[in-house]
Amino acid sequence: MNRRLFVQAGATTAFATFLIASNAQSTGATGTKRQGIVIQVSDNDPAKWNLALNNAKNLQDDVGAANVDIEIVAYGPGIGMLKLESPAGARIADAMKANVKVLACENTMRGQKLTKDDMLPGISYVPAGVTEIMKKQGEGWAYLRP
């Protein structure tokens, strides 16, 4: 019986922490709470990238671009679509124009011997993609892996 109460109390505390973190988001242009979502792309597949980009656009259309911060974090094989001449390059550029932040993992770049000159213009960089995702989740951002 005591164990059940402990588990329930732990779940309640975790839920309260989630609510506090969610409420820590800034306020958007319309006065509503601004949300954040981090989208992981770790597949070198144009279809996966197109799905992630569609998700980002649909989210902006649904809740209003001024009410959501969107980051797409690419690491591992997913970084291939951020290289120059990427088949997804034009769509990625359009997403960035719509204020979707696209981030490349520098750990992956080093492992694949890529430099910033090898990458699409305008993207941003983080030391470690998985760490960026973890930090954003810790700040109350939603997580999506299409």
* pLDDT surpassing 70 at residue 20: no
Report the pLDDT averaged over residues 133-145.
97
| Structure confidence at residue 2 (pLDDT) | 45
| Structure confidence at residue 118 (pLDDT) | 97
Question: Rounded to an integer, what distance in angstroms lies between the CA atom of residue 101 and that of residue 107?
Answer: 18
Whole-angstrom CA distances from 49 to 9, 15, 33, 85, 142 are 40, 32, 28, 14, 18
Question: Rounded to an integer, what distance in angstroms lies between the CA atom of residue 136 and that of residue 23?
Answer: 14
Nearest to 105 by CA among 114, 95, 96, 97: 114
Residue 33 pLDDT grade (very low, low, confident, very high; cuts 50, 70, 90): confident
* Angle CA 14–17–23, to nearest 5: 145
Across all residues in the chain, what is the average pLDDT?
A: 85
Q: Pick the range with the lowest mean pLDDT from 28-32, 39-43, 107-111.
A: 28-32
Give me the sheet containing 68-74, strands edge to edge.
124-126, 100-105, 68-74, 35-41, 142-144
Question: Rounded to an integer, what distance in angstroms lies between the CA atom of residue 114 and that of residue 112?
Answer: 5
**Tens digits of per-residue pLDDT, 95-120?**
999 999 999 999 999 999 999 999 99
Q: Which CATH class is domain 2-144?
A: alpha beta
Give the start-to-end residue ranges of the domains of the chain.
Answer: 2-144
More confident residue, 8 or 71: 71
Residue 136 pLDDT grade (very low, low, confident, very high; cuts 50, 70, 90): very high
| Structure confidence at residue 89 (pLDDT) | 94
Question: Rounded to an integer, what distance in angstroms lies between the CA atom of residue 94 and that of residue 105?
Answer: 20
